[in-house]
Structure 1
Amino acid sequence: MIRNLVLAFVKLTLFCGLLLQVQPTLAQGNGAASNRIESIRVWPSPDKTRVVFDLKSEPQYSYFTLYQSDPLRLVIDINDTQLGTSLEGLADDSLLVDLIRTSSPKNENSTRLVIELAEKTDPVVFPLAANESYPHRLVVDLPGKSIERSGPAKSISELAKRKVTVAIDAGHGGEDPGSVGPTGSYEKNVVLKIARALASMINEDPGMQAYLIRSGDYYVDLDERPQKAWQAKADFFVSIHADAFRTPQPRGGSVWVLSKRRADSEVGRWLEGTERKSVLLGGAESIIEDTGHEPFLAQTLLDMSMESSIASAYSAAREIIAEMSTVTKMHKREPQAASFAVLKSPDKPSLLVETGFISNPYEERQLNSNAHQQKLARALYNGIRRYFVNNPLDNTYLATVPNSDYIVKPGDSLSVIAQRYDTTVAAIKHENDLRSSVVQVGQKLKIPR
């Protein structure tokens, strides 16, 4: 009997030892901590990695770097906090972050997290308050190359000269899913697919090239998006979104340009509110303060060029609406105006395209269809290209394109086509040797510039 008691005691001792070994990975502290790390998310992008710690309550933290030793480390201490999630596999997708682990805490109720880095970086660490979508967060931004740009995306160094450069901004991304459809579709995923399809079409054009603001599933701050387009020396900026509303009935696409005032329509005010929510989710709350943090809003630049930029955007918007209306229902057939941060660049035409209402069940299915995504991308490409053929930039390939070809669609007439291309019925008839104003569906016409 004594032997059995000894064996039982040994087994219990071994079991307790195993528990002590596992405990630091699952939870630090003795359970008396008032705060808790519920989950950790890592979002690598081409120029930084964002690490987000979701917490039960507001974090009290400090941090320091260890760059004189190997490996390079960022150490974060969160007071009165227990770790309640696994760290396994968090660094798998980032080129900058090698490992996220724990280390001996300052005291028994705190958590020490160590981020091992592939290279030195200047970390930016800040808390975010809880909102309707997320709990309290501690955000760590680590500047540095974190992923390779992929697919149709080009780096700035790869952009060629003497081509029209189009900056394509897929809305939302990363921890900001954008609008969510009735079956759970994320706007961020739909618009990235459309943006990548558009980029492929533009890059196949000998006179154009595309720069993707967001090439993967990560968030780019709203004020950084037009800045990235400026760094790429883009001639045109288009931000792609999927609309949503509080009720499922609204449907159809629309094209938006900048207004210096608040939007007049109910949908426009709803979209402006959605953009401000996107800023909160992404972690750049300072932009919400109406103090002019956008990099291109210097008053002198606005006075000189903003009006010209908005006028050009209206012209391009009409071209895109004409094309989109052939592949999808339009919620609005005229360009709409609202105060969106991503459109506030005075040096180029800037548009925001709503490809449809993801909150509408029918359009949610359409927006998830690859065939429909390709049609929408083709419509955007055709509209942008026609704008630059009709408004050519000096010393670019498109400035030398003689005439455009057009295939007559149902509902077309020579007067409608002439208005769309800013020409006259007489000019079209002369260019095509037409004796009659009657045209047939499928007929190919040469459109004079």
Structure 2
Amino acid sequence: PKREEVTGEVEKRVVAQLLTLMDGLQERGQVVVIGATNRPDAVDPALRRPGRFDREIWINPPDFKGRYEILQIHTRNMPLAPDVDLRKLAEVTHGFSGADLAALAREAAMSALRRAIQSGLIDLNQPSLPPEVFEKIKVTMADFTAALKEIIPSALREIHIEVPHVRWEDIGGLENVKQELREAVEWPLKYPDRFKKFGLRPPKGLLLFGPPGTGKTLLAKAVATESGANFIAVRGPEIFSKWVGESEKMVREIFRKARMAAPCVVFIDEIDALATARGIGVDSLVSERVVAQLLAEMDGIKALENVVVIAATNRPDLVDPALLRPGRFDRIIYVPPPDFKARLEILLIHTRATPLAKDVDLEELARRTEGYSGADLELLVREATFLALREDINAKEVSMRHFEEALKKVRPSVTQDMLKFYESWLEKARQLTVATKAKAAPPLYL
């Protein structure tokens, strides 16, 4: 370890002895020393120079070709069903190390064995099993799919969260926003050759802003499910710590893990709490240092490749302006309250599992819910269902009068003042971007 950071004298003497033996007065002969670590920064710097450890070899997590070969090795003696597609498995295992892939193959085999035991093909009470029994067991693609839910990439185990499986069809309306998210996250993964051919660099960051309840967080969940990329969720306020330097270290660690597990989506919810505009706070300047760290990570000297940052806020005016320029949050996307068509889609989604009476007219409800957000419409359906059950716990369906009663209770949360505020802020942000580009452009000589 680093001698200046350890308190014991034994460690210092061991490091000094190792330095002397590797490159001291006495030749070490034909001896090659190979060291291995996953914490190179914790090694004493005197060892990391020519004459001692001459070469430093960084072993990356395997790419698609490497993952495919590793899966072939670990399934070499495994009885695979014809539907198993190792190439597809290699495509969806972004950020998996060799050990993770070995665990994936082992878990899939265990799943096949469990299925054989449950079906009665294997009787655990028998002292021994004939070989023909094992010949009947095949590991299927369904076993690998089930194993994928259990195995988490090693680099993300500390910060892994279970993301609900939300599909694009679970979100009503917002077609333009969905398309922009597809272009930013899904296209670079699915069509990397097209991006390379056109010299196109995928956007680094997207800022989703709009009134509360319009589906910003839901869109991020759908991106995580649909793209198949690794997903890191950061709740803005949880970054802050009372210890000096810990908050910046946490931001640094999140981006380090995202680089290791690339392609990766980093989702920062309530970014206004994390990246408040500098110069207006009266605290101990922790928030300013966190913003500076975030700026450096997103567009600093160290490249951020195959990592997309998606942030969500309903107070865009509080976000530091330095984040809102190209190269950091390349795209600023307004998530508006749903229009008539979107409201109808949202009502259809939320009443999918609700038995409705014949007199329920969802189009009429969509027409009467002007100014309602997606969350308001979900609450409306839930309130109408509760009213039906309150009337009769054995009720078989929800009728229109229950929705009429619910409309009196659930009021729209989006006001005209809020819409004017968001639209005016978006206009200011566009003008700021244009002014920044014009300022950065070289002078023209006529």
For the criterion TM > 0.5, the same-fold answer is no
TM-score, length-scaled by structure 1: 0.25
Relative to its length, the structure with more helix (as a share) is 2
TM-score, length-scaled by structure 2: 0.25
